Structure 1
Amino acid sequence: MRRALAITIAAAVALTLAAGCESGTPTADGPPPGVPSSSSPAAPTGSPSQPAPAPTASSAPATPEPKRKLKSGLEGPDVLALQQRLTELGYWNGEADGKFGSTTQQAVYAVQKAAGIRRDGTVGPNTRKALDQGVRPKARSTTGTMVEIDLKRQLLLLVTDGQVTRTFNTSTGSNEYYQQEGETYLADTPRGKFKVGRQIDGWRDAPLGLLWRPKYFNGGIAVHGAPSVPPYPASHGCARVSVSAMNWLWKNDAIPLKMRVWVY
């Protein structure tokens, strides 16, 4: 009798354990009496019902990425924006194409000269500041149309009624002595007021070198194109501009015969 009773109790325990392993979640019949009905387990007392937000970075404003230094050989939308700004301010640099070539470098020289900053032909913080501030050279003349050549700043200006319409980098006389046919001369660009008296549409093989499409305004001194136009005085007396700039001046008849030239 005791043996049979033990077997019966063991069987009942086994059935209870088997049911507990199966029922990990409430059955369709709902929770036991006394437990509130809910589609999800109740949140523990004192705990937030929503998960805490993930940690975020500091709310301080992000530091903007520094702009790259623009120089010859670079390309991109920032170069295009530079070219457009130069044109807007009157610094001749051809057509904007997003490529920083020698023509753009010449225009950068010009704005650096106008601003009185280092003339290195690249666009860093100081040159950007000058561009942002809209630095432009001022004319000395007040009426009429003329060319002004500023020897101190080494700039060639096209001026109409006191307003500068175009600005070019130029390189005038180096003020150094040179020898020619046994004689010694000073490479200077004389100050004064002149007029364009003659011109040659092509290369002029002059005693002191090649001149591209020169426009003479004082004897043998001319505004002419040259392969090299540094940001400092380097010529024998003429006012050099780039070959592409000289082509533009001819194409637009910007320096016609009899036009006044003021060198100061």
Structure 2
Amino acid sequence: MFALSAAAVVPFTETPLPASAASAATPATTSAAGAVRLLSPPPPAESTTTEEEAESKPVLLRPGDKGAAVRTLQRKLHRGRYYFGPINGKYDEQTKFAVWAFQKHKRMMLSNQVGPKMLSALDKPVRHKVLVPQGAANRVEINLTKQLLVVYRSRRPVLISHISTGAEVRYCENGRCGNAITPVGDFRVLRRAPGWTTGPLGSMYNSLYFTGAIAMHGSTKVPLRPASHGCVRLPLETSKRLYQMVKIGEPVHVRGKFSVRAFR
């Protein structure tokens, strides 16, 4: 498992003017006796900041935040094909998963927090690296190294998702033992199972099986590490869109090997 970076917030402290400067900057009047009396500065003008100006100011968004800035983030993530949930202005778990997907795709430091640098990067094209250059125009690529899934249509990426694949450990659960490995290779979708299904190893949502009992499916647990028994876990909202797009017979290519160092 790897740690999330913490954004540093440096408080801004205004430096008080020296006495001489304060005297020069403050209006004054002279009495008949020659004494100098400082006048009170005028009250500050009422703010006239427009909504557009407010949105352009630097922001730092965190999970749990709500409002217009979060809606802007969600729209940008949706436009980039990272987010498929509602544009509701709530920085919830599905939004967090989309933030991770973009950061992985852009090779940025992984963090729950979103600052001006990421918001700016979302407006710029991302150089995309294809895993299978000679693959079919419509296909799914699963990158175990980046823990990233990409769906192509007409050779263009149209869905990019954070995933959690096989934990690569030996397991024994409910009388069933095996190796938690997501196999590398070239496959095709063999079977589809809509909605929630529950087996001896847990529950799966909108499952797309591509070899044996291994499937791409939605899950309520998609951590920043390989954690499955071999399946490819996706965020729930993204799995809904994936299930709409991918049909039986579609090519699925799995490449790479997970390494924590890849995210440092």
TM-score under structure 2 length normalisation:
0.68
Matched, 1:172 2:165: yes
Match of 1:263 in 2: 254
Matched, 1:70 2:51: no
Matched, 1:214 2:212: no
Match of 1:152 in 2: 145
> Aligned pair in 2 of structure 1 residues 192, 76: CA closer, same or farther (>3 Å)?
same
Matched, 1:82 2:73: yes
| Gaps in structure 2 of 5+ consecutive residues | 1-40, 42-53, 256-264
Aligned partners of 2:101, 2:121: CA distance in 1, in Å?
Answer: 11
Aligned partners of 2:168, 2:75: CA distance in 1, in Å?
Answer: 35
Instruction: Report the CA distance between 1:151 and its aligned residue.
Output: 0.7
Aligned partners of 1:75, 1:134: CA distance in 2, in Å?
Answer: 27
State the SS of the aligned residue for 1:202.
Answer: strand
- Picking from 106, 112, 115, the partner of 2:103 is 112
Aligned partners of 2:250, 2:215: CA distance in 1, in Å?
Answer: 13
Q: Greater relative contact order (Cα 8 A, min sep 6): structure 1 or 2?
A: 2
Aligned partners of 1:183, 1:254: CA distance in 2, in Å?
Answer: 32
Q: Map of 1:25-36 to 2, 5 A cutoff? A: none
Aligned-residue CA RMSD (Å): 2.6
Matched, 1:235 2:225: no
Q: Deviations over 1:158-212 (max 9, x none)?
A: 1123321111111111112212466753211111110111121232212211111
Aligned partners of 2:175, 2:234: CA distance in 1, in Å?
Answer: 29
Matched, 1:201 2:194: yes
Aligned partners of 2:248, 2:242: CA distance in 1, in Å?
Answer: 12
Q: Are the equivalent residues in 2 in contact too, given 1:83–1:104 (CA < 8 A)?
A: yes
Moved more, 92-101 or 225-234: 92-101
Q: Are the equivalent residues in 1 in contact too, given 2:74–2:83 (CA < 8 A)?
A: no
Matched, 1:94 2:89: no
> Aligned pair in 2 of structure 1 residues 80, 209: CA closer, same or farther (>3 Å)?
same
State the SS of the aligned residue for 1:103.
Answer: helix
| Structure having the higher Rg | 1
Instruction: Report the CA distance between 1:136 and its aligned residue.
Output: 5.5
State the SS of the aligned residue for 1:81.
Answer: helix
Moved more, 80-89 or 112-121: 112-121
> Aligned pair in 2 of structure 1 residues 136, 76: CA closer, same or farther (>3 Å)?
farther
Which 4+ residue blocks in structure 1 deviate beyond 6 angstroms? none
Q: Map of 1:121-136 to 2, 5 A cutoff? A: 121-128=112-119, 130-135=121-126
Alignment length, in residue pairs? 202
Instruction: Report the CA distance between 1:82 and its aligned residue.
Output: 1.1
| Gaps in structure 1 of 5+ consecutive residues | 1-53, 55-63
Q: Are the equivalent residues in 2 in contact too, given 1:149–1:157 (CA < 8 A)?
A: yes
Aligned partners of 2:208, 2:98: CA distance in 1, in Å?
Answer: 21
Instruction: Report the CA distance between 1:130 and its aligned residue.
Output: 3.5
